[in-house]
Structure 1
Amino acid sequence: MSAVFSLTDWLLFALLAVPVLATLLPLVNRDHWIFRIFDFPRIQIAALSLLCVVLNVIWQRHDSWPFIALELVNLACFAYQLWEISAYTRLHKPEVLRYTGGDDGRTVSLLTSNVLTPNRRADLLLAAVAQRQPDVVLTLETDLWWETQLAPLEQEHGYVYTVKIPLDNLYGMHLYSRLPLRNAEVRHWVAEDIPSIAAELQLRSGEWIRIYCLHPMPPSPTEADTSTDRDAELLLVGREIAKNNHSVLVFGDLNDVAWSRTSRLFQQISGLLDPRKGRGLYSTFHAKYPLLRWPLDHIFHSSNFMMTDIQVLPGIGSDHFPVYGKFQFAPAAEAVQEKDAPDAEEVQEAKEKIAEAEPLKEVVREKYADKD
């Protein structure tokens, strides 16, 4: 075989193998980042598969079964990758109904933004908040410098209910709300230095809902070697939501794409809905590389909410775009939007993933006093 093939043939063969390998690795049920990292760029892998087929047609000068086989496999990879993300296109029926009525006091809007700690364009984030006027603002990767810069949210814009966790480890978190908060807690599900926030939020109608603000650590060669802790945090939250049957919003940088097995399992265990399904990808990362983007920042909600609006906002100097969402609390919608309960296999898989992470026994580290 090597005597027949030229160097160009070998290079083409290697190129054809790349998207095949990138498609196969996530199918392996392992948590190491080498396997999980390819959950993210499914659009890019699909495009590479199609490009490889075209290059094979252009460059291949003889009929050789290895090249023909790889060409066919690449076509299959292309179709598979598109299928995996198809729920986040207009080919899929929307999972969440759109609300077109007026504000009856049950509307809640929120803006979530991973600011990138070294970023110094706080003015752009403040401008986005001023323009959108969300009820709730969540910032991620915020340290003491960012806390100082965001003080106008409290002083000038009426975000008087706050939970502040300034950190220098890229996992700081600040929650600002115009709507009353109660029973606010700083949670550490699986790691001492990775916080999250859980609280109750009062709508203008007087009704209370529950919110979870999350930012788990991603699997990558520079952060966590495996996705174990990230997966466990998401599934622990999902299990708590299912157990308590709350009206709930979950939002933040989940460091996972919406179409991954873990995100799907989280939705199935929690019963939460994704307003992006049937509407678009809403990619938020990487803001500086248009050809390398996927959705890392999410808003999930229980089936008794309808969606009024969801948008990816212009950049603020971070590697993430902010996300804005507006939702209507509508208990009657639950009858037509409710998800099927997880099956026994999904429950067992979630249990095993949680146990593997060895979650912390003392989850709540701090409780915030309610403001009158």
Structure 2
Amino acid sequence: MSELVIAGFTAIIVLMTVAPLSRSSLWWIRGLDFPRLQIAAAGLLLLAAQLAFLDLSEFPEQLMPVATAACLLYQAWWILPYLRPYPNEVRLTPAPADNDRVRILSSNVLMTNRNADALIALVRQHQPDILVTLETDAWWQSRLDVLESEYPHTIKCPLENTYGMHVYSRLPLKDAETQFLVQPDVPSMHAMAILRSGQPVRMHFMHPAPPSPTENDESTERDAELLVVAKSVVKVPGPVIVAGDLNDVGWSATTRLFRKISGLLDPRVGRGMFNTFHAGHWFIRWPLDHLFHSRHFTLSFMRRLPNVGSDHFPVLVELVHDAAAGASQQGLTADDEDKQAANEKIEKEPVRPSDVHEPEA
């Protein structure tokens, strides 16, 4: 009986590892990109059980630990860059000059959450230059508007469908525009922020809808939105930041493709996962809230902040504009196959890179 149970769990681990290798955009297949850490942990426990309870002198039973070990190594390959021994992708810059830094606090507030005071307290404690909120409706806007005396530059799109977005900024925001690139009820925000030094920084704030049985049956909408933004920024000569709840994990094939096509860097690489969702369940957490940036920046710090009553933890990142120091930083690079894959994903939706607003100072 134990052999049959172990064989069944082995088949499940193999299926959960192999299914995402396909290019299928079905929600349940792309959803398996998320729990790679949990699958690896389950594989490790399963491998221990196989070695303890199977008769490894029998050939069929020898195959099970081999298959499990292969799955474990494959899952580990994806998450390895988000473990501390891995080399940092972004350089650390201590004690940044105030004029050259930009501090961004991003928070998916959970629309039904009514603890706005907790988020406002975090803002006043950490003093970000830019606050980005997701899932903010008219109620949240009425509470957050108390910040306008300190954050006079705003972009507002309150919605009652969990896709409302707001940006509150100390820094001037030029040529700001809210767009609905792929879905008519899912916005993104684009603006040129001006640092205290006078340096313009192109900003893109996003919250594409996830592949799920309650949202989109496939990941094509999310993937297309991410990749048109990636293609729109790849040739931008100046500094770029893309941030928000991307409803994808850093180690998924789609986010890796976004990084390859855009050329943007991930400050988490070599520093940790910074899992932000689900705030209420320690055993099921993934990094859904992201910030990517061009090589013009180095990192001052990155922190996951305390929960504000949402199912997401807020994230605080401080970057330093230092083009000379950042010039040697290297992220992922796209080959011809990557570019073809990106084009194929974009072509599935009625959106093109030229549709993305290109803010100017």
Relative to the length of structure 1, the TM-score reads: 0.92
Is 1:228 paired with 2:195? Answer: no
Residue 68 of structure 1 and its aligned partner are, at CA, apart by 2.5
Match of 1:130 in 2: 124
CA distance in 2, matches of 1:340, 1:285: 25
| Matching residue of 2:45 | 51
Select 1:180's aligned residue among 172, 175, 185. 172
What is the aligned partner in structure 1 of residue 327 from structure 2?
335
SS in structure 2 of the partner of residue 237 of structure 1: helix
Matched-pair contact (CA < 8 Å) for 1:185–1:364: no
Show the counterpart of 1:293.
285
Letter in 2 for 1:131: Q
Question: Shift of the alpha carbon at 1:187?
Answer: 1.4
2:333 and 2:273 mapped to 1: Cα distance?
Answer: 25
Aligned to 2:229: 237
Shift of 1:88: 0.9
Runs of 4+ in 1 over 4 A off after TM superposition: 61-64, 338-341, 360-365
How many residue pairs match? The answer is: 360
Alignment counterpart, residue 303 of structure 1, candidates 267, 291, 295: 295
Residue 32 of structure 1, aligned match among 19, 26, 35: 26
Q: How does 1:90-239 map to 2 (within 5 A)?
A: 90-155=84-149, 158-239=150-231
Structure 1 residues 135 and 89 mapped into 2: Cα distance closer, same or farther (>3 Å)?
same
Q: Does 1:23 align with 2:34?
A: no
Structure 2: distance between partners of 1:54 and 1:48: 10
**Which residue of 2 is the match for residue 89 of structure 1?**
83
Share of identical aligned residues, percent? 46
- Report the 3-state secondary structure (helix = DSSP H, G, I; strand = E; otherwise coil) of the residue aligned with 1:105: helix
Q: Assess, with a 3 A threshold, how the Cα gap between structure 1 residues 364 and 56 changes in structure 2: closer, same or farther.
A: closer
Residue in structure 2 matched with residue 275 of structure 1 by the alignment: 267
Which deviates further from its counterpart, 351-360 or 300-309? 351-360
Report the CA distance between 1:66 and its aligned residue: 3.4
Contact 2:231 2:353 in 1 (8 A): no
Residues 27 and 219, structure 2, Cα contact 8 Å, conserved in 1: yes
Matched-pair contact (CA < 8 Å) for 1:190–1:360: no
**1:269 is matched by which residue type in structure 2?**
I
Supply the AA of the counterpart residue of 2:256: R
Q: Give RMSD over aligned pairs.
A: 2.1
C-alpha separation between the residues in 2 aligned to 1:64 and 1:124? Answer: 59
Q: TM-score, normalised by structure 2?
A: 0.95
1:102 CA drift (Å): 3.5
- Work out whether 1:259 is the aligned partner of 2:245: no
Q: Secondary structure, in 3 states, of the residue corresponding to 1:326?
A: strand
The answer on whether the counterparts of 1:187 and 1:363 sit within 8 Å (CA) in structure 2 is no
Quote the offset at 1:144 in angstroms.
0.6
Residue in 2 that maps onto 1:3? none
